[in-house]
Amino acid sequence: MPVADENVDEDNPYLREPPTDFEPVEDLSATEAERQVEQLREAIRVHDRRYYVESEPLIADRTYDTLFARLQDLEEAFDLAHPDSPTRSVGGEPLEAFETVEHVAPMLSIDASGEAEDVRAFDERVQREVGTVEYVCEPKFDGVSMEFVYEDGRLERAVTRGDGREGDDVTANARTIGSVPQRLHGDYPDFLAVRGEVYMPKDAFQAHNRERIERGEDPFANPRNATAGTIRQLDPSVVAERPLSVFFFDVLEASDLADSHQTELETFPEYGLRVNDRVEIVGESAERSSADGHAAKPRDDGDEPRDPIEGAIDYRDRMLAARDDLDYEIDGVVIKVDDREAREELGRTARHDRWAYAYKFPARTEVTTIADVAVQVGRTGRLTPVALLEPVDVGGVTVSRASLHNPAEIVEKNVNVGDTVRVQRAGDVIPYVEEVVEKGSEGHYELPDTCPVCDSPVERDGPIAFCTGGLGCDAQLRRSIEYYAGDDGLDLEGLGEKSVRQLVDAGLLDSVADLYALERDDLTDLEGWGETSAENLGSEIEASREPPLADFISALGIPHVGPTTARELAREFGTFEAFREAAEDDPDRLESVDEIGDTVAETIHDFFTSEANAAVVDDVLEHVSPQEAETDVGGDELEGLTFVFTGSLEGVTRSEAQETVEAHSANATSSVSGNTDYLVAGDDPGATKQADAQDNDVPIVDEDEFRALLADRGIDLE
């Protein structure tokens, strides 16, 4: 098929069956390199348009990748980078912040309703003010609306809608979206500002969420949230890795305006701007294109005259029926007056254009389809299957995932990908699949035989499946680092889930021990880290080199060994060496410790006899020397009392305060209940524990009152 474009050199060697056996870069002269770069840029723009806009690629994906890589090599070797080069689609340097930019024309909202009578009332007003019109009917995309400004055919800026008057300049991010042309084609106007909807295709959204879950990250709630979160990333290279696309659907301003919206949409593909193929024109003289994207069919002469607004309502009903078959989310349709002069006469209010109306769909409720199943690997290696759903409204909350709990439940409910299911929520916890409403595939989902993250064998313990990779599994590693640094571990302030993920993704943490090799410059080179935050984390890590034994045991994340059990083990064995020796060689010895039965003892034994875990522990011990614990119990002065601690105490850690009360026969637990006697609130206490204390009539004491309580019983907290 010929390439018809006056901007393209038909003799460009990289348009059809391009050569891929390039001569070495170093053998080219500067002139030859510049010529090849221009030809490659021109050809790649054509290939982008044919792929993204026309869906008729000229070359194979692998060949395209080879041309793209060649262009990158030449630009780097000969310093030929250019702002509108296709290579900018891989991202640039991270931004410090977005600049606020005023739109060339207001980007107003659309008046909307889900009732047909309101749509008819809109039509009555239009006809009353401007007479009979034709309407352009379009899907109402559920993405992120943006302004794209082209000057002399080049992408000058891309701006989020913001408040409709001004928004954030996200041009660097927009350049990474393949369907956003860096330069226009054809006979384009000198100045063109268009409105487009950036979105994440549904299949790409599910695949991206699956990757996030398997990496131990929280999935996005729905494609729109994923798109909004991506387009506002300060690092364009992150945006480039995420599967965004765009539909262009309106002209905001142009140096040469068309008379009708229909003409604008017909012209967009000639410029390289991608439009949706389910747009319809409705009106008495309009030929109707079908909502399934097939060729338009003229109205038979014998048909009754078609009322434009009834045609628009019919379009909405057909789009509602086709909704689940689309690879993008829509939440209704938009009905627009086609004639631009009539639009100008109708005008606008302060909030919305009076020539457009959105006819909304009802929200999906409770029943939806399982698009995929991801397997999440927890800190202890437990595999949890998570159903990735077509987003659905459940109790006023958009839900895109649901727990399947374990293999036994999957078998019992006969759940599989493609099934239509009913989803429920219990409180604010993750939703769950209640039942299969209609089977979409045979049989039930089977968990993989190997870990989706590290490929280690999966073993079953009753209804539960576990990855055997231990701390050698990246998913378990990251969660283990988070736990090691968290409240139940060494409590390293400034090292939460987000920062751990950032450090792991940056290649700075391949193990828990790598925490102790972090340099200040490693941190300050990352987004969001300044000199102060880097120094503070360095101080926290340095102070953790001699942790209390109980804190260190708990920080290792041994299954079933939390802070309370760790303190019991520390008191029993006194040193980490003695505890580890018993764990490896004498699990029966562990059972002599209070509240440790044969199951927990066996779990501790399995943890330390795992080669992967043992190697990680050995690496950490190269940097950390756990303190020796006091093995003698102080007395029974606090017998029968239960304490919970929140916030930070002066001069002692929370763990040390817990050890003190437990050494005098009290209990120290992590959550408030009706059995709690005192909630000790230090600086910056947690609101949840205080609320629980009030609900259960538990006395809340500050640090001074707590120290006085101990002193009355002859106990010194120091």
Residue 55 pLDDT: 67
Does residue 62 form part of some domain? yes
Q: What is the CATH number of the domain that holds 29?
A: 1.10.287.610
Per the domain annotation, does 408 fall within a domain? yes
The label of the residue with tokens 């769909």 reads 361
The verdict on residue 464 lying in a domain is no
Structure tokens at 572: 């029993």
269, 209: one domain: yes
Q: Is residue 516 part of a domain?
A: yes
Confidence at residue 592, expressed as pLDDT on a 0 to 100 scale: 82
**Residues 6 or more apart in contact with residue 308 via CB below 8 angstroms:** 123, 132, 133, 134, 135, 282, 283, 284, 286
> What would the mean pLDDT of 686-715 be, rounded to a whole number?
88
Q: Is residue 623 part of a domain?
A: no
Q: What's the pLDDT tens digit per position in 264-318?
A: 999 999 999 999 999 999 986 555 443 344 333 333 444 444 589 999 999 999 9
Rounded to the nearest 5 percent, the helix, strand and coil shares of the chain are: 40, 20, 40
Average pLDDT in the 20-41 region? 89
Please report the pLDDT score of residue 163 as a whole number.
82
Q: Are residues 226 and 320 in the same domain?
A: yes
Same domain, 187 and 133: yes
What are φ and ψ of residue 356, in 5° steps?
-135, 150
Q: What is the pLDDT of residue 465?
A: 87
Determine contact, residues 78/30, Cβ cutoff 8 Å.
yes
Angle between the 308-322 and 116-130 helix axes, to the nearest 10 degrees? 150
Q: Return the H-helix or E-strand segment holding 185.
A: none
For residue 605, is pLDDT > 80? yes
Strands (E), 558-674: 642-646, 667-669
Please say whether the beta carbons of 209 and 400 come within 8 A: yes
Given the DSSP bridges, would you call strands 458-461 and 432-438 parallel, antiparallel or unpaired? unpaired
pLDDT at 90: 65
Q: What is the per-residue pLDDT for 69?
A: 87
Catalytic residue of the set 140, 202, 413, 689: 140
The per-residue pLDDT for 476 is 83
324-346 as b/e: b if 16+ CB within 10 A: eebebbbbbbbbbbbbbebbeeb
Please give the backbone phi and psi of residue 676, each rounded to the nearest 5 degrees, phi first. -75, 135
Asked if residue 496 and residue 424 are part of one domain, the reply reads no
Domain span holding position 77 = 25-81
CATH code: domain of residue 649: 3.40.50.10190
Distance CA 667, CA 640 (A): 8
Q: How confident is the model at residue 488 (pLDDT cuts 50, 70, 90)?
A: confident
CATH number of the domain within which 263 lies: 3.30.470.30
For residues 512 and 417, state if they share a domain: no
- Could you tell me if residue 304 is inside a domain? yes
* d(C-alpha 147, C-alpha 191), whole Å: 13
Our measurement of the distance from residue 136's CA atom to the centroid of its chain's CA atoms, rounded to an integer in Å, reads 34
Residues 356 and 372 reside in one and the same domain: no
Q: Where are the alpha helices (DSSP H) in 131-288?
A: 171-174, 202-214, 223-231, 236-240, 261-271
CA angle (387, 392, 394) in 5-degree steps: 100
Per-residue DSSP letter, 515 = G
Amino acid at the residue 203: D
Q: Tell me, yes or no, whether 38 and 119 share the same domain.
A: no
The pTM of the full predicted model, rounded to 2 decimals, is 0.61
Q: Are residues 351 and 474 in the same domain?
A: no
Whether 458 is in a domain gets the answer: no
Average pLDDT for the chain: 86
Taking a C-beta distance cutoff of 8 angstroms, is the pair 197, 458 a contact?
A: no
What is the per-residue pLDDT for 296? 34
Q: Mind listing the pLDDT tens digit for each residue in 59-92? A: 887 788 888 889 989 988 898 888 778 887 665 5
Inform me whether the pLDDT recorded for 430 exceeds 70: no
Q: What is the pLDDT of residue 292?
A: 40
CATH number of the domain to which 530 belongs: 1.10.150.20
Closest CA to 403 of 381, 378, 379, 424: 424
Residues 129 and 269 in one domain: yes
Final residue belonging to a domain, choices 360, 380, 410: 360
174 contacts 202 by C-beta, under 8 angstroms: no
pLDDT at position 567: 84
| Cα gap 64→87, rounded to integer Å | 12
Asked whether 478 and 501 are in contact (CB, 8 A), the reply is: yes
Helix (H, G, I), strand (E, B) or coil at 30: helix
Label residue 429 by pLDDT band (50, 70, 90): low
Predicted pLDDT of residue 234:
85
Q: Are residues 38 and 128 in the same domain?
A: no
140 catalytic? Reply is yes
Is 181 in the same domain as 145? yes
Give the C-alpha separation, 482 to 573, whole Å: 26
Report the DSSP beta bridge partners of residue 370.
Answer: 389
334 with 478, same domain? Answer: no
Please report whether residue 107 resides in a domain: no
Single out the residue of 289, 294, 268 nearest to residue 279, CA to CA: 289
The number of folded domains in the chain is 5
Which residue in 269, 283, 307, 330 sits closest to 138, CA to CA? Answer: 330
> What DSSP line would sit under 276-317, residue for residue?
-TT-EEESTTPPBPPTTS---BPPPTTSPPPPHHHHHHHHHH
